[in-house]
Amino acid sequence: MADFSLQRKRMVEEQIAARGVRDKNVLRAMEKVHRHKFVPADLRGRAYSDSPLPIGAGQTISQPYIVACMIEALAIKPGDKALEIGAGSGYAAAVLAELADEVYAIECISALAEMATWNLQAAGYTNVHMLHADGTKGWSEHAPFDAILVSAGAPGVPESLKTQLAPGGRMVIPIGTSMMYQKLVCVTRQKDGSFAQHDLTDVRFVPLVGEEGWRPDGV
Ligand code: SAH
């Protein structure tokens, strides 16, 4: 039987803290969430490796370091309400659920939305609410959000997501003119309602496909 808890500890030390993620709460959450419960059974042995892994339907669970880096930039505080676009396996939503009070997660592929719901339930999370829909429109019934994590690469920041960000709220989103390469960007809504933006790092995400994202044919 593999010692997943030792593998998780190593993942946090060698892949995440060593590369500059400092937020103790994020490191603790990454050490706590059982990533092996969010990957397909035949890939469990590689759950804590330093890479993305396939989760079916042509999609991937992101590399642990990138998840930590994105979530650290969101600067989540207890009491916050978070939204994730692109729930995939449900893993990043679980990490968010360790830090925020409530997490709303949207996934556009129904088989993955079901899998994420199942994985989160099996792992014991009761504060994640899943919706099968086009997440580029956000989830207006539950807005505004203190933190928005976009886990797929977009051609630009969807207007609907900007309007659903609370004053002082943060959004982390991969933005790129190609469907395969992006810059990870942090967008902050100032108290006066204006938006500030800064770049974090270069990334490769699967495309955000939807009304305010890429069209399925890549235009
Ligand atoms: N955060 C996930 C990984 C996501 S991969 C995890 O931890 O496992 C990106 C996901 O975004 C894919 O599952 C893809 O289906 C989804 N996606 C792409 N466009 C979307 C959209 N418009 N709305 C919701 N989900 C979308």
Give distance in angstroms: CA of 190 to centre of ligand 1: 27
The domain segmentation of the chain, as residue ranges, is 4-203
Kindly report, residue by residue over 22-80, the tens digit of the pLDDT: 999 999 999 999 999 999 999 999 999 999 999 999 999 999 999 999 999 999 999 99
- How does residue 219 score in pLDDT terms, banded at 50, 70 and 90? low
Angle at 145 between CA 194 and CA 37, to 5 degrees: 135
The protein residue with its alpha carbon nearest to ligand 1, atom 4, reads 88
CA dihedral 143, 100, 150, 20 (to 10 degrees): 150
pTM of the full structure: 0.97
Is residue 102 scored above 80 in pLDDT?
yes
Does residue 119 line the site of ligand 1, with CB under 6 A? no
Q: Given 62, 89, 151, 160, which residue is catalytic?
A: 62
Q: Cβ contacts of residue 74 below 8 Å, gap of 6+?
A: 82, 147, 149, 170, 172
Q: What distance in Å separates the CA atoms of residue 119 and residue 13, rounded to the nearest whole number?
A: 25
Give distance in angstroms: CA of 205 to centre of ligand 1: 9
Report the CATH number of the 4-203 domain. 3.40.50.150
How high is the mean pLDDT of the chain? Answer: 96
Q: What is the pLDDT of residue 178?
A: 85
Q: Which atom of ligand 1 is nearest to the CA of 213?
A: 22
Is residue 217 scored above 90 in pLDDT?
no
Q: Cβ contacts of residue 54 below 8 Å, gap of 6+?
A: 40, 43, 60
Average pLDDT over residues 187-201: 95
Give distance in angstroms: CA of 88 to centre of ligand 1: 5
On whether the CB atoms of residues 121 and 37 are closer than 8 A, the answer is no
Q: What is the pLDDT of residue 97?
A: 98
